[in-house]
Amino acid sequence: MLPVITGFIDELREAGVPVSMVESIDAMKAVEAIDIGRRVALRETLRATLVKNLRHERAFDTAFDIYFSTIPLPSDGHDENGPMGGDPGETPGGQGGGAGEFDHEALFNALLEALSGMDAEALRKGVRDAVDHLAGMEPGRPVGGTYYLYRTLRRLDLAELEDQLLQAMAGDEELSELDERLLREEVEALIEQLREEVQEEIRRRLVADRGREAVARTLRRPLIEDIDLMHATSSDLADMEDAIGPLTRKLAARLARRRKKRTGRLDFRRTVRKSLATGGVPADPQFKHPRPHRPEVWLLCDISGSMATFSRFTLQFTHAMSTHFSKLRSFAFVDTIDEVTDFFGPGIDFGSAVSRITTEAEVVWLDGHSDYGNSLETFYSRYGSQLSPRTTVIITGDARNNYRPPRDGILAEVAKASRALVWLNPEPIAYWDTGDSTMSHYARHCTSVHEVRTLRQLEDFVETITLPAGRSLQNA
């Protein structure tokens, strides 16, 4: 058992999940305390001890499937030693085996019955048959199994299965629209369950064929925080949404932070407590902490075509920020700039905000290619007078200016009029100033410039941001 678990932990680390020494020892201890013949028990035990972040669960599930897929489920009836140390080759029904007669219709009906009767045992048997006959797996091919999965599902004719399931469960009654919707969702959940079973079965066979490490390597995906924001898929972006909330909250806290000053009112309780050390003489008065000030943040997002995925992310970020900053103003630009603060008002969901920005905001002036110079100029002439020494300006963009004049002098004015100016660039630092990128022109006017290609880098930025404190006081 031990080697399998260490191998599993290595795989988790390989996939980027941080597992500390202490945690791996905890996992070992915990595994000793449980019945490892039970797959659910083992999975939840390892999960509770090794994975401390919801975002890493996907990596955990994949790795677990691969490393422990040979543990039979409770009903399979297994001997004591077989499952763990066992020779993976023993997995039932190798490829091509038991060809003979194959009755597609019988399988279809069996699955239908298993799903509508919620019979887990029958479902598993049906799935095994389906993979046996429909996946057409070829031993030795270094694939992750996605192709086999789709082939099996296509040949199973899921749409037909769904229809029939719907009919079988609806019975003869006339359904209201609400009931129909609920029923359809139930059927979808069942089909999803079938899909997962098939995927698991295929992975089990792949492991039997090529060994754990090899399959794990093929299936390894970057963690959500390491995905390049420029190339993230929309499902990746959806996954990121949960992570953005806590991040913006933290940013709000960091921006609100000030150097410790004795500006608060006298804290009587703590002063008296402290005075005990000096025999009741209040030699060291204690003060209440001053209220954190409300940071004022202006966000300028490049939403041009080259930034499509990234800008969707920054807009998500903006949307999340708008709930934590009372004084947040957001602006979008392509070759000119428009204020989009109102599109992110309270109670407006993200989807409709984005569609309104793309249709209503006036961000295109000439040809719809990025023009930072003109955008900045428009920004400064329209809104510049409203900048105050309390304002933190954050610009997100790749600074690719299509060889137009950068007009970075205006950025210097913006920097002068605000508390701090931060630039987040989604391109790798090595690409800055190549081609039409004018990053260094802008960088020298910024308080700080950061490469933010991944969620992790954004986290680092939020973690380390320090702004010149108290400028407002000097000026006031």
* Contact predicate 339/329, CB 8 Å: yes
CA 13 to chain centre: 18
Among 106, 182, 283, 469, binds other proteins (CB under 8 A): 182
CB atoms within 10 A of CB 225: 17
Closest alpha carbon to 213 in 3, 19, 25: 3
429 contacts other proteins (rule: CB under 8 A)? no
Among 48, 73, 429, 473, binds other proteins (CB under 8 A): 48
Among 18, 96, 142, 264, binds other proteins (CB under 8 A): 18
Which of the ranges 83-91, 128-136, 184-192, 215-223 carries the binding residues for other proteins, by CB under 8 A? 184-192
CB of 183 to other proteins, least distance (A): 8
CB atoms within 10 A of CB 233: 10
Residues 6+ apart with CB under 8 A from 124: 73, 197
77 contacts other proteins (rule: CB under 8 A)? no
Closest alpha carbon to 194 in 285, 287, 122, 280: 122
CB of 449 to other proteins, least distance (A): 24
Among 1, 54, 73, 429, binds other proteins (CB under 8 A): 54
Site string for other proteins, 249-288 (x = CB under 8 A): xx--x------------------xx--x---x--------
Binding residue count for other proteins, defined by CB under 8 A: 49
222 contacts other proteins (rule: CB under 8 A)? no
Among 22, 99, 430, 476, binds other proteins (CB under 8 A): 22
181 contacts other proteins (rule: CB under 8 A)? yes
Which of the ranges 85-93, 133-141, 245-253, 438-446 carries the binding residues for other proteins, by CB under 8 A? 245-253
Strand order across the 391-396 sheet = 337-339, 327-333, 296-302, 391-396, 420-425, 448-451
Which of the ranges 91-99, 152-160, 177-185, 294-302 carries the binding residues for other proteins, by CB under 8 A? 177-185
3-class DSSP assignment, residue 329: strand
Integer Cα distance of 9 and 28 in angstroms: 11
Residue 16, exposed/middle/buried by CB under 10 A (0-12, 13-18, 19+)?
middle
- Which is closer to other proteins, CB of 24 or CB of 370? 24
Alpha-carbon Rg for the chain, nearest whole angstrom, is 29
348 contacts other proteins (rule: CB under 8 A)? yes
147 contacts other proteins (rule: CB under 8 A)? no
166 contacts other proteins (rule: CB under 8 A)? no
Integer Cα distance of 408 and 431 in angstroms: 19
405 contacts other proteins (rule: CB under 8 A)? no
Among 9, 15, 17, 51, binds other proteins (CB under 8 A): 51
25 contacts other proteins (rule: CB under 8 A)? no
- Which is closer to other proteins, CB of 350 or CB of 431? 350
3-class DSSP assignment, residue 370: coil
Closest alpha carbon to 248 in 35, 461, 17: 461
246 contacts other proteins (rule: CB under 8 A)? yes
CB of 73 to other proteins, least distance (A): 13
Residue 47 tokens read as 């999960």
Handedness of CA 324, 325, 329, 331 (dihedral sign): negative
- Which is closer to other proteins, CB of 157 or CB of 186? 186
Beta strands in 271-390 (DSSP E): 296-302, 327-333, 337-339
159 contacts other proteins (rule: CB under 8 A)? no
CB of 138 to other proteins, least distance (A): 36
* Contact predicate 79/198, CB 8 Å: no
Q: Which residues of the chain form contacts with other proteins (CB under 8 A)?
A: 18, 20, 22-23, 26, 29-30, 33-35, 40-41, 44-45, 47-49, 51-54, 57, 176-178, 180-182, 185-186, 189, 242, 245-247, 249-250, 253, 272-273, 276, 280, 289, 347-351, 459
